[in-house]
Amino acid sequence: MTSNRNRASRRCQSARESTHLPRQSHVQYAACYAYSPKGESDTSQRSRQLCARVKNGSPRWLKSYVALLHEEVERCLYGFFAEHTLLVPVPQYFCRVRTSLWAARRLAFTLQEAGLGEEVWTGLRRVRAVERSSSAWMWQRPTVQQHYRSFAVIPPPRHPSDIVLVDDVITKGRTLIAAAMRLREAFPAATIRAFALVRTMGFIADVERLFDPCEGAIRWDGQDAYREP
């Protein structure tokens, strides 16, 4: 009963907040590695180790994981990273005290070094606080609207034509779809896609492999975000 009330409350909250967002939106996304939050197999346990390394922004491990992506990109993600792609790291949830750890930024520069983007641009900023999703209770995680309101775009030296948003881990895709909608306002003529190194597979018991590249879409239906696959 409590769970149903929480779901209903969240739907009502999203409906109230989504006034200024489009009724529907989507963004193409790609991810490379699979992560199981609760699986008990050896592969699932190793996936949690991989996810922790990515979230910690370890340069050594990021280079290792991106190197495999670079080797396989023509086969598994052909055309996703274009020659003149501008890589835009998704900013951290929000912190008034600057920290050196910004995993998405480190990942974006690692992708650039591997030849999977022309330039890294950090003009997407957080200007409002949102709770960190990983530390929030499931039904209290930030909504798409809250993420959207927290973002602002700093005018760039030139208007990009091809943008790939970069994040370390994708779960439902709320952060990425909100960032994509904010960037589309600033650059309506640009092609915008999203990339996460790791995707969470929370609805299956175990993952069968770590390197499991996929392409799909994140959709906004006016109430919430949904990731396919």
Q: What percent of the chain has pLDDT over 90?
A: 76
Q: Looking at the DSSP assignment, which residues form a beta bridge with residue 228?
A: 217
The answer to whether 134 and 35 are in contact (CB under 8 A) is no
CATH number of the 2-228 domain: 3.40.50
User: How many C-beta neighbours within 10 Å does residue 16 have?
Assistant: 10
Region of 222 please: left (phi>0), alpha (psi -120 to 50) or beta: left
What's this model's pTM, rounded to 2 decimal places? 0.88
CA angle 109, 199, 217 (to 5 degrees): 95
- Give φ, ψ of 68 to 5 degrees: -65, -40
Q: How confident is the model at residue 134 (pLDDT cuts 50, 70, 90)?
A: low
For residue range 88-108, list pLDDT tens digits in order.
999 987 555 455 589 999 999
